[in-house]
Amino acid sequence: MQLVFKLIPQLIAWTVMVLLLLRGMPGRRGAVLISAVTGFSLGVAGYLLLSRLFPVTLPLGIIRSAVGGSFFLLWSVAVAALYRSTVRDFPLLRVERLVGTIYCAWGAPLLTGMVAGGIGASGLPRLDNSVLQLLAPLLLLLAGALLVLGARSAEQRLTSSLGVTPSAFLAALVALLLFSSSSSILLDLFAPLSMKVMKGTHDFVHQFMESILIPDHVFIRSAIWGYIGFLFGKEVGFWGGMVIWFTPALLIALAIRLEPLPSVAHIRQGAQRRRLLADAIRTKQYRLVIPALALVALAAAAYQSSFPNVEYWDPKPLAVTATPAGEIFIPRKGEVELEDGRLHKYLYKQGGKEVRFFVLLTPAGKLTVDLDACAICKPDGYGQSEGMVLCYYCKTLIPLDTVGKPGGCNPVPVPFTERGDGVHLDALTLVNSWSRTVQSTTSSKGGK
């Protein structure tokens, strides 16, 4: 039942995608329907095959690249659409000219179906029961095919006035794909986009302002950095990401609004002239429905990305103490099994300071001890899910096999000694490492 609920948004998005494809290519419904079902089936089958071939690290980059690439394409289409609305002779882009052709009628539903099917299959759980393991994808395929028929039926009931421009068609299709992909933290593009904006701002402010704008005086520097410190917050990344996320659909809506109305000055009869104008205005208003749909899908994607429906493994830190010699010892077997592949968090208190760190067995079979913080973000800590750990602050996903390596948003590694009975680490080194890290990331200068 939980699976069904998890897949409902995906399946709704798939239905709307098919509906949009049908409306965008009204003369080629047969081709759209056949290729949509074929694409969805190939997507599900392809994902299952790849997950068998690469059980540890799924090659989801293909889907991510496809969706991300289409988003970049959308940007160029949006800019061109806006330019065209003000300059009448500007031609359609090649990708826009494709909309409605036989190539698009076969290709677009096939590719969309493959991506949607792949994303849907990625939401299927790994079940122990082999019958259920086989049944779940079959049910997904059946649902996908039935929804294609449902979309066809719904599309026929829509008013004929609901026209679709090529740019709006692409905007809504890409937005729905982004919404689908945002259901998985491995496929989500909004969180990485926000992170890139945040880190881009961070680097720009540091490198550009520090080297050029900020007077090199110890008192002036700290005062000025105090004021511009807000540029390092994750809010900058979030809102910057939102601007990049929504702008193409907004530009396309604006382009439709700016499209000139047809000239009716030559029509003598007033009522007929006004009727033609009213029809043209109504057509424009209907055309705005599809970019509005794109905006809703993008907003839903951003929401899904910001509040992912994923349960992270995030155990309550166990309190540890140091020996009189200043050594912290964590047994290999005891209250927790250190080598079960899960994140195990600990809390060490010394002189009013609280240090959080974790121990993890990486997929390579090596134990690693790291601070529950990275060198650049505020120390909100990490959670573990789907072969990754996630930085709660900036939503960066870090593959498990890179945990233990320093740099970027990786957890800061802590030196330790591994012996037969467990891991040993120096309390002073741990506290100093935590202090350095936290001090640099929570001050206005160093923290994001």
Partner 1 sequence: MASTIIETAGLTRSYGDICALKPLELSVPEGEWLSVMGHSGSGKSTLLNLVGGLDRPTAGVLKVGGEDLLGRDEDGLARFRREFVGIIFQQHHLVPYLTALENVMLAQYFHSVPDEAEARFALERVGLGHRLKNRPGELSGGEQQRVCIARAIINSPKLLLGDEPTGNLDHKSTTMVLELLRELRAEERFTIIMVTHNQEVAAWGDRTIYLDDGVLVREERKTG
Taking CB under 8 A as the binding criterion, the range among 215-223, 275-283, 346-354, 394-402 that sits at the site for partner 1 is 275-283
Q: Tell the residue number behind the tokens 């068609």, with chain if given.
A: 169
Greatest pairwise CA separation for the chain in angstroms: 100
Task: Report, in Å, the least distance between residue 157 CB and partner 1.
Answer: 16
By CB under 8 A, is residue 275 in contact with partner 1?
yes
Per DSSP, 112 falls in state H
Of 24-32, 209-217, 270-278, 380-388, the segment contacting partner 1 by CB under 8 A is: 270-278
Binding status of residue 267 toward partner 1 by CB under 8 A: no
Site string for partner 1, 215-254 (x = CB under 8 A): ----------------------------------------
Closest by CA to 203, choosing from 248, 249, 236, is 236
Minimum distance from residue 275 beta carbon to partner 1 (Å) = 5
At position 162, the amino acid (one-letter code) is L
Q: Which residues contact 257 (CB under 8 A, 6 or more apart)?
A: 85, 284, 288
Residues making up the chain, counted from first to last = 448
The least distance separating partner 1 from the CB of residue 280, rounded to whole angstroms, comes to: 10
Nearer to partner 1, 132 or 261 (CB): 261
Residue whose CB is less far from partner 1, 8 or 281: 281
260: contact with partner 1 by CB under 8 A: no
Q: Which is nearer to partner 1, 134 or 261 (CB)?
A: 261
* Residue choice 278, 285, 331, 419 for contact with partner 1 (CB under 8 A): 278
Q: Is 347 in the site for partner 1 (CB under 8 A)?
A: no
Cβ at position 261, least distance to partner 1 in Å: 10
Token pair of 104 as six digits:
């698009």
- The least distance separating partner 1 from the CB of residue 259, rounded to whole angstroms, comes to 16
CA gap 268, 129 in Å, rounded: 76
Burial of 34 (0-12, 13-18, 19+ CB in 10 A): middle
Three-class DSSP labels, 36-54: HHHHHHHHHHHHHHHHHHC
Q: Does 270 bind partner 1 (CB under 8 A)?
A: yes
Q: Is 311 left (phi over 0), alpha (psi -120 to 50) or beta?
A: beta
H or E element, residue 12: helix 2-24
Residue 277 interacting with partner 1 (CB under 8 A):
yes
Computed from CA positions of residues 74, 78, 84, 87, in that sequence, does the dihedral angle turn out positive or negative? negative
Total interface residues for partner 1 by CB under 8 A: 11
Q: What are phi and psi of 124, to 5 degrees?
A: -75, 140
Write down the least CB distance from residue 162 to partner 1, Å: 16
List of residues contacting partner 1 (CB under 8 A): 269-275, 277-279, 281
